[in-house]
Structure 1
Amino acid sequence: MPNPDRSRRSSPRSGGKGRRTSSDPARIAAYRTLRAITADDAYANLALAEQTTGLSSRDAAFATELVAGTCRALGLYDAIIASAAGRPLRSLQPAVVDLLRLGTHQLLELRVPSHAAVAATVELAREVLSQRVTGVVNAILRKVAALDADGWAGRLRSENADAEALLARHPQWIIDAYADLLPAEELPAALAANNEPPVPHLVIRPGLAEVTELGGRPLRWSPFGVEASGNPAELPPVAEGRAGVQDEGSQLVAWALARVEAPGGPWLDLCAGPGGKAALLAGLARDKGERLLASELQPHRAALVARALAAYPEPTPLVIAADGTRPAWPENSFARVLLDAPCTGLGALRRRPEARWRRKPADLDTLVPLQHELLASAIRAAAPGGVIAYATCSPHRRETSEIVEAASGVEVLDASAVLPDIPDAARGPYLQLWPHRHGTDAMFLALLRKIR
């Protein structure tokens, strides 16, 4: 991690919300990204990509660490800031809170000297807000700097009933969901794995590229991808649409559906956006002489799916914008159906660190009925004897096994037996991956056969 305390304060500034020439472009980019996340519910990866365009590799790396690290520990930092300030965060301007979060991360987690972290954040406050707020930012951060990370851990344990959860950088309800499924001795490792940024995984489009073109180290179980550092967009297969970025867990879900015995006929990806699994499935379907239909509710996400599939030659996979609960196809039409259901995303907290504080238990009350409805629609879409893959990027019991157990008209297949080389992945008849065990997102997979 580069040491960023050499602030460049002699460059000119410009006003307004557009990109400006700044004395500290990395911190400016991190602040703007965090504001987009907390104020506008932006996705961290998308907002960060927008803000770091044009930065040097050093500045982009520091901005990325600032944003990702702050998002992972947001709840913890909020408790520390409130304790240091001696007042609730709601009494502070939201933009000031974001500045304090970034400053706290530098003070407690990064190799930035305390005086430099405080001074740089005060200067950032002056630049992005006004001189008026610099006093409060300076005062609170100096109180944060009075203790190190261990000191704050001890203080929070004496002040805050949720201290242990906050120190693990997870809300308690997420910890409870993990503890419901994992042995007690594994829980700390599972939570710690969510706090480590993942190594990017790349995947080929079968028939369009070879794994050897990607460089990197072959993945452990998926034959379609590699681990690779650096900028994936600079690789010709990725730039040409013949390969993409996709976690190995997602690759394995698509591969399992392709491997299980099923009748001939077209394939369906019911909730295909943004297109990663559809792009892999399309090539696997072509290998079997079949064609894929990819459906996505939101037109802009359907456009992303079409872009992911664009490199395939004629006959190209079909992409439509349609509501999966009100299908645009007849029943009993597809030999294989993938339902990667909308979910809380509790299995992808490494890649989306902001989600752990954005999601709430009440979100399940909205998502679970939709998951039931979509699975019923997927079963209706399958031909008799056809196979449905129900997948979520969440291990939560309400979004996974309870959804499958309520389904009718299907028999449950042994999903872990379809990919027998993956150790410690069986969750009853289902496949459950974990970051700390497998180095993947915590993907859940159930394979179901429609009763003839």
Structure 2
Amino acid sequence: MSESGRRNPANHGGRDGGSRDGGNRSQGGGGTVRRDAKGRERNRGPQRGFSASAPSQRTRRADPARLVAFEVLRAVAAEDAYANLVLPARIRHHRLDKRDAGFATELSYGALRGQGTYDAILAACVDRPLAKLDPAVLDALRLGAHQLLAMRVPAHAALDQTVGLARAVIGAGPSSLINAVLRKVTARTLPEWLDHVLAGETDTTRIDAVRHAHPEWIVRALRQSLVAHGRPADEITELLEADNEAPVVNLVALPGLGSLEEALENGATPGPLVAGSALSSGGDLGRLSSVRAGTTRVQDVGSQLVARAVAAVELGSSGEQAGEKWLDLCAGPGGKAALLAALANEAGASLLANEPAPHRAKLVSQALAAVPGSAWSVRTGDGRDLGKEQPGSFDRVLADVPCSGLGALRRRPESRWRRTPKDLAELGPLQRELLGSAIDAVRPGGVVAYVTCSPHPAETTAVVSDAVAGREDLELLDAGAALDAVSLGGNLGAGNELTAQLWPHLHRTDAMFMALIRKKA
């Protein structure tokens, strides 16, 4: 597992690293003498090190920042929650300041990303299968392992605070086990542990999976995806390392409506890939007035490039068009739809944003609220029906279909441990039906953009090939050239056989795939 992006400059352990007194003390000889209520001496000789301190010397409370991280891991494991949704709520609940919030974020996301690596190490330190441990105990061990192996937290503070957390929220008995296991973890550095647990291993997929904290099936899938999109298979190490880097926050100013001036004044830097974008230096973006107004938004630059390419690609000729009609077939929660609506507003076009789930359709409406209402409308309904209900009605259709999300693992740290190969098989029919509906909905001369946040060929090139096979009325456009046309450098190098694939290790974006299909006039 790469340590890039895992180091926190704040020495958080020092805040609570010291032990707390409990009971009466008298000083004598070379150590501290402890006496119980009857005056009996309780010390066991010279003062011992942190890892063997007597129970009354150990921290008995949960440090708020570590407690937040523990609650996030528990919600992810027990409630199938999403860390990016749980974490802000827990930070607010515990009223963490900026420093503690940063520590809790790094600890939560780092422990979730590195779960596979830490489990391999912990398995070597526990006398039973990890599956037999109480899930709460295992989460506490993962938090301790991340602090000990990948953060700038002194070992004594990481162990003391993790055991204190366990005593406060799990119990005294489990805390003894956690203390014993984490003492073993301190015996080696992360590189030393990796060499130890992988000693004698010859399977390169297994080695990559443990070293870079990805399930083995995802390592194989990503290696296959690289080759399918014209990249060398040996780029897999760079790709896995990029997945483990903390992503930079990307901003976009909605064209004609938003401005990056305030963000740039507060430390953001202009984005290098696409106009109207910026890279945020962090902090509370909610305090920026343009963000609160919805005219400046957080959006991965890969999504920005895709939306701009859809809006700019040349259409075929099919008679006079008074005003273009655009469709976002799978619009929730509304990020790309907001950018598309702003672009439509500038172009004198109108966007229909479709979303099947009512609560997500509401989110789409909220995302679009900053754009003049004359430029958009929201439909709540199944996108698979739209092609039949409104055939040949749209000039541009974005089909950003539900997918495995293998291209956004760096932003969703828990996702890699939830997904299974079965997900790919289950999503395939839905993806094909939605693309078929999009093709039915586009007019002759119009263009459909098929988009996924996954590079897997089962979700990308295979779906597109099936859609165009045997149809003489469809043609693939050069999606790589379309992305180049809307990028600042004009040479992304994302194209391969007319489709386009962005990569975290090459473009510092999510691994967005795009194919452009034009219906012949």
Q: TM-score when scaled to structure 1?
A: 0.94
Letter in 1 for 2:476: V
User: How far 1:86 moved relative to its partner?
Assistant: 2.6
3-state secondary structure, aligned to 1:50: helix
> How big is each residue's C-alpha offset from its partner over 1:134-169, in whole Å with a ceiling of 9 and x where there is no partner?
111111111222222122112211376624311112
Structure 1 vs Structure 2 CA RMSD? 1.7
Residue 283 (str. 1) matches residue 342 (str. 2): yes
Q: 1:131 aligns with which of 172, 177, 192?
A: 172
> How big is each residue's C-alpha offset from its partner over 1:223-278, in whole Å with a ceiling of 9 and x where there is no partner?
12111112221211111111110010000000000111126521110111111100
Q: 2:104 aligns with which of 55, 63, 67?
A: 63
| Aligned residues of 2:260 and 2:296 also touching (Cα < 8 A) | no
Mapped to 2, the partners of 1:397 and 1:86 lie a distance apart of 41
User: How far 1:431 moved relative to its partner?
Assistant: 1.4
User: How far 1:99 moved relative to its partner?
Assistant: 0.5
| Aligned residues of 2:448 and 2:516 also touching (Cα < 8 A) | yes
Distance change in 2, residues 1:163/1:189 (3 Å): closer
Letter in 2 for 1:5: G
Q: Which has the larger radius of gyration?
A: 2
3-state secondary structure, aligned to 2:238: helix
> How big is each residue's C-alpha offset from its partner over 1:382-432, in whole Å with a ceiling of 9 and x where there is no partner?
111111011111111111011101003421100111233133211220111
The 5 A counterparts of 1:41-440 are 41-53=80-92, 54-158=95-199, 162-180=206-224, 181=226, 182-215=231-264, 216-230=268-282, 231-262=284-315, 264-327=323-386, 329-408=389-468, 409=471, 410-420=474-484, 421-440=490-509
Letter in 1 for 2:503: W
| Aligned residues of 1:7 and 1:24 also touching (Cα < 8 A) | no
Q: Equivalent pairs: percent with the same residue?
A: 50
| Aligned residues of 1:157 and 1:164 also touching (Cα < 8 A) | no
Distance change in 2, residues 1:164/1:188 (3 Å): closer
Mapped to 2, the partners of 1:396 and 1:381 lie a distance apart of 26
> How big is each residue's C-alpha offset from its partner over 1:328-384, in whole Å with a ceiling of 9 and x where there is no partner?
841111111001111111111111121111111111011111111110111111111
3-state secondary structure, aligned to 1:164: helix
Greater alpha carbon shift after TM alignment, 153-162 vs 243-252: 153-162
Mapped to 2, the partners of 1:422 and 1:320 lie a distance apart of 37
> How big is each residue's C-alpha offset from its partner over 1:8-41, in whole Å with a ceiling of 9 and x where there is no partner?
498xxxxxxxxxxx75110000000111111112
- For structure 1, which runs of at least 5 residues remain unmatched after alignment? 11-21
User: How far 1:128 moved relative to its partner?
Assistant: 1.3
Greater alpha carbon shift after TM alignment, 87-96 vs 260-269: 260-269
Mapped to 1, the partners of 2:478 and 2:358 lie a distance apart of 35
Mapped to 1, the partners of 2:173 and 2:270 lie a distance apart of 54
Letter in 2 for 1:228: S
Distance change in 2, residues 1:108/1:448 (3 Å): same
- The aligned counterpart of 2:33 is none
Letter in 2 for 1:279: A
Letter in 2 for 1:63: A
Mapped to 1, the partners of 2:493 and 2:126 lie a distance apart of 46
Residue 449 (str. 1) matches residue 518 (str. 2): yes
Mapped to 2, the partners of 1:427 and 1:48 lie a distance apart of 38
- The aligned counterpart of 1:40 is 79
Mapped to 1, the partners of 2:158 and 2:200 lie a distance apart of 26
Mapped to 2, the partners of 1:99 and 1:422 lie a distance apart of 46
